[in-house]
Amino acid sequence: MAFDIDMIQKVYAEMAERVDSAREVVGKPLTLAEKILYAHLWDKTPGKAFERGVDYVDFAPDRIACQDATAQMALLQFMHAGKPKVAVPTTVHCDHLIQAKVGADKDLRRANETSNEVFDFLGSVSNKYGIGFWKPGAGIIHQVVLENYAFPGGMMIGTDSHTVNAGGLGMIAIGVGGADAVDVMAGMPWELKFPKLIGVKLTGKLSGWTAPKDVILKVAGILTVKGGTGAIIEYFGEGAEAMSCTGKGTICNMGAEVGATTSTFGYDASMDRYLRSTGRADVADAANEVKEYLTGDAEVYANPEQYFDQVIEINLDELEPHLNGPFTPDLATPISRMKEAAKENDWPLKVEYGLIGSCTNSSYEDISRAASLAKQVSDKKLRTKSNFTITPGSEQVRYTIERDGLIDTFNKIGATVFANACGPCIGMWDREGADKEERNTIVHSFNRNFAKRADGNPNTLAFVGSPELVTAIAISGRLDFNPLKDKLINEDGEEVMLDEPRGYELPPEGFAVEDAGYQAPAEDGSGVDVAVAPTSERLQLLTPFQPWDGKNITGARLLIKAFGKCTTDHISMAGPWLRYRGHLDNISNNCLIGAVNAYNMKTNFVKNQLTGEYGGVPDTQRAYKAAGIPTIVVGDHNYGEGSSREHAAMEPRHLGVKVVLVKSFARIHETNLKKQGMLALTFANEADYDLIQEDDTFNLVDLEEFAPGKQITIEVTHKDGSKDVIKTNHSYNEGQIGWFRAGSALNLIAAGKA
Ligand code: F3S
């Protein structure tokens, strides 16, 4: 489906030279991750060996993928870049805005009614700027990418944390914020701290009840939710090669759950088979030509301790099926220990729902193995005890499993088939009775299981397992059912055991689809109108931010001095606000409403220095803006940690905040502030945070000499007339000061100066 074989061949044509020269510079054999990273340097040749976990490096990704929730603001921004087309192949996927309730057809119809204007906007903007558009119902971004766009040795960024799924096809695929995606769409480099490397050696072979999912559930138990931070996980060994490509995708997908930058596997026969079965024989042929560059050097895998920062070894012959949870994906329990664990923790044993599918686990292999269990329900005269749902990852998978009778098999156990969309995985599940907030247990094959993630009920205990284990547990209706050992009682009162799941790696009769749901962009989009109604409450065209007037900022008032942790969630909350992701003015009504005011320890309750009254942060800030008074936000350590969402930087900028002054920044948020033309400063002396009082006025007395490495002085006048002069640091380079002067990075690109 419109994958770009020319682009892929170009990547491969340059691969050998780039990797060979990198090997010379680094001076030792290379891992696969290093090969792909060095082959995608913006500067083409490395001037030096990069220090892992230290050096920031500019890259040139091959592709971009965006989902509908994050694409809105990204594309609204891109419209300002003044470019006729995106600079690298890009796709948009409508999957997050479809609520699961009764079943695919009705749910999809309802989503098309409620989010029509968003889909229309995304469709028209994609058409105009050369972006491939996957309509609602076409599938979940990561499954569609794996089926159509991922390719061994490629580098991709995507505006969703599970973009990493494409590592299953040997890519370096990384989740980013919209601002990063916009830069790359506009033809700019993409910066990443050169990652550390974790090697996972898989010995033995999966068999019986154990599935690829159990590998990552085990890894999550070892590494915990933070253990992969700043690292790429590279899997290798005989166990990796014996596994299906889609199974590898599942493992890479959930690398996000251990905080890894991404995960990947070396090119092998399973990838060749998957490429051919998904209509990409030419990609497989091209990959085979350069295959030694699409996997780590043999010496690396022979002596991994010498080349990786950390090595984990897992013997697949001994690996047990796992259930991870509740409330965190790293609480790993092997199935043989579940009886005890459930008892110790008082987890409700009755399982209300088993849910399979999602971007993580809806391959043909997953579904056919799960169906082999569902089929045993009638064969062995059993009855399925839990409710059961399937969320196919793409229309291609859905169509194929329907053709092959697998949906019919699931229907016979009373399953509900949801739309090919995120649905219950992202809380878009209108589960009956969830509002009663009763304590209950569900099992699913998705990736995340934080409180409220699936149905909004904080008392739903969600356990993550392979689709086959989820199906077996749903049939039994019990969390502590161990299908390897336990018997079930059938309608005739006989004890029966479920046979091991069996399935097909790929559909024996090939994949098929009638309408994949893809819309190719116009060849020449210059005449395409992008429709945004001025009355819309969900979408708003952006107005470029004003350039800096070149003068010192004087008379600025304090909007809020945030106490303690202030993450991007505190600055721009999620939940119901997701609805306004494409409307900057409306979503700005959540600006900093989660931040704690250091003077009264309350949230969304700050002093308006113009009236002396207290009110919400956004309203107070709008009053300052209306009066033409600049403002400053003061914060603590690691300000802006959390997600990379650019709204957290755009909202204060839109509302007229001029400066964010903190003890330290989370780096991505600091960059986002710079990109939006905001002044991001840090206290030279951290203790000066304590000098800031509620009624202070601020003068930046030497901003006119703004230059790299030069401190900025702020004169702070307190209510009693006394003054403190504080020094602040910044990390702007020349180019970034250019963004500040222009009003934003995009303004500079639009002016053709970036
Ligand atoms: Fe969607 Fe869940 Fe995957 S939200 S993209 S199905 S992680």
Tokens of 488: 């079930």
Task: Pick the atom of ligand 1 nearest to 358's CA.
Answer: 6
Domain termination residue (choose one: 417, 446, 479):
479
Beta strands in 150-216 (DSSP E): 155-158, 172-175, 190-193, 196-203
Measured CA to CA, the distance from residue 69 to residue 421 in angstroms comes to: 13
Measured CA to CA, the distance from residue 428 to residue 424 in angstroms comes to: 5
Atom 2 (ligand 1): residue with closest C-alpha?
425
**What's the number of domains the chain is made of?**
2
Q: Which residues are known to be catalytic?
A: 95-96, 160, 448, 643, 645
Sign of the Cα pseudo-torsion (486, 490, 496, 498, in order): negative
Same domain, 437 and 569: no
Domain termination residue (choose one: 459, 479, 499):
479
69 CB near ligand 1 (under 6 Å): no
Positions of the chain with pLDDT under 70: 1-3
Tokens of 370: 């799960």
Please give the pLDDT value at position 64: 98
Task: Please give the ipTM for the structure prediction.
Answer: 0.98
Residue 382, domain member (yes or no): yes
Residue 620 is inside which H or E element, if any?
A: helix 617-626
Residue 563, domain member (yes or no): yes
Give the three-class secondary structure for 129: helix
142 CB near ligand 1 (under 6 Å): yes
Q: Which of 663, 747, 139 is nearest to 422 (CA)?
A: 139
197 CB near ligand 1 (under 6 Å): no
Domain termination residue (choose one: 457, 479, 501):
479
List the alpha helices (DSSP H) in 382-452: 395-403, 406-411
140 CB near ligand 1 (under 6 Å): yes
Question: CA of 198: how far to CAs of 229, 335, 702, in Å?
Answer: 10, 27, 46
Same domain, 568 and 692: yes
Same domain, 469 and 584: no
Same domain, 576 and 448: no
pLDDT tens-digit map of 176-200? 989 899 999 999 999 999 999 999 9
Q: Which of 404, 418, 401, 286 is nearest to 358 (CA)?
A: 418
Measured CA to CA, the distance from residue 472 to residue 125 in angstroms comes to: 45
Cα 505–Cα 510–Cα 515 angle in degrees, nearest 5: 120
Tokens of 3: 């994958």
State residue 116 phi and psi, 5-degree precision: -50, -45
Please give the pLDDT value at position 642: 80
Residue 700, domain member (yes or no): yes
Q: What is the pTM of this model?
A: 0.93
454 CB near ligand 1 (under 6 Å): no
Distance 253 CA to ligand 1 centre (A): 10
Residue 195, domain member (yes or no): no
Distance 373 CA to ligand 1 centre (A): 25
Helix axes 141-148, 395-403, angle to 10 degrees: 80
Residue 340, domain member (yes or no): yes
Cα 191–Cα 69–Cα 154 angle in degrees, nearest 5: 40
Q: Which of 46, 64, 79 is nearest to 180 (CA)?
A: 64
Tokens of 576: 């119901």
Q: Which of 266, 504, 251, 258 is nearest to 397 (CA)?
A: 504
Same domain, 745 and 605: yes
What residues make up the domain containing 665? 556-750
Residue 7, domain member (yes or no): no
445 CB near ligand 1 (under 6 Å): no
Same domain, 605 and 730: yes
- Among 99, 140, 164, residue to substitute to test ligand 1 (most atoms within 8 Å of Cβ): 140
Distance 394 CA to ligand 1 centre (A): 12
CATH of the domain at 607: 3.20.19.10
Same domain, 456 and 565: no
Please give the pLDDT value at position 3: 56
Atom 3 (ligand 1): residue with closest C-alpha?
359
Same domain, 457 and 584: no
List the alpha helices (DSSP H) in 259-359: 269-277, 281-289, 298-302, 338-345
Please give the pLDDT value at position 1: 44
Measured CA to CA, the distance from residue 588 to residue 511 in angstroms comes to: 45
Same domain, 560 and 474: no
Same domain, 450 and 580: no
How do strand 332-334 and strand 322-324 relate by DSSP bridges? antiparallel
**Chain mean position to CA 316:** 28
Atom 1 (ligand 1): residue with closest C-alpha?
422
Distance 395 CA to ligand 1 centre (A): 15
Same domain, 455 and 342: yes
Measured CA to CA, the distance from residue 11 to residue 6 in angstroms comes to: 9
Residue 133, domain member (yes or no): no
Which amino acid is located at 621 in the chain?
Q
Residue 100 is inside which H or E element, if any?
A: none
Number of H helices, E strands in the chain: 25, 30
391 CB near ligand 1 (under 6 Å): no
141 CB near ligand 1 (under 6 Å): yes
Same domain, 475 and 563: no
Measured CA to CA, the distance from residue 573 to residue 588 in angstroms comes to: 10
Measured CA to CA, the distance from residue 220 to residue 205 in angstroms comes to: 19
CATH of the domain at 423: 3.30.499.10
How do strand 631-635 and strand 556-561 relate by DSSP bridges? parallel
Please give the pLDDT value at position 514: 98
* Beta carbons within 8 Å of 70's beta carbon, 6+ residues apart: 159, 160, 177, 178, 181, 581, 645
How do strand 231-236 and strand 332-334 relate by DSSP bridges? unpaired
Residue 374, domain member (yes or no): yes
Question: Any idea what DSSP says for residue 93?
Answer: E
